[in-house]
Amino acid sequence: MWGDKKPDAPARTPLPQQPRPTVTTAPSFSGEAKTMAPLDSTYPTTTSGATARLGASLHIKGEITGNEDLQIDGSVEGLVQLEDRKLTVGASARVTADIIAREVIVYGNVKGNLRARDRIEIKKDGSVVGDLTTARIMIEDGAYFKGSIEIDKAGDAAGDSDDKVSHGRSRSTASTSAV
């Protein structure tokens, strides 16, 4: 009776084929890791001869240390220490920091003490308020400077060793401003 006839099954429509997930296993690895190059070939890199740049829209509070030349176009508060390198303070830069470098070139504004083993340059539109210690100094006409200058010839490796002044220090206080 009941078992003789099976009920009619509703008609089935085939489902669209779904892609099957591909399962891959990572190959076994033994040995040293290899460094891969960045995927984006426009990724900025610096070499020993290149200059790193802190852009105009960047604002840093803290300490910057490093072993490459640096150009600051943004604002920095704190300490900038590049012992054997060159620091360029760009025209749009606002730096409120003590600076230690081999060479410092100022096109923008700096408030803080500058110590450069080789030289300090303040360009015509540059402004520095702070004490300078360096072996060589250049302040262009039109630059603003307020503070003291200490010429430290002992830091200048190119100085004449027979010159008695090269072993001592001279100190002068100067204030210049654009007219």
pLDDT in tens, 114-129: 999 999 999 999 999 9
pLDDT in tens, 18-55: 555 554 444 444 444 444 444 444 445 445 568 899 99
pLDDT in tens, 130-175: 999 999 999 999 999 999 999 998 765 444 444 333 333 334 445 5
Cβ neighbours for 174, distance < 8 A, ≥ 6 positions apart: 145, 147, 148, 149
HSE (side-chain half, CA atoms, 13 Å) at 61 = 0
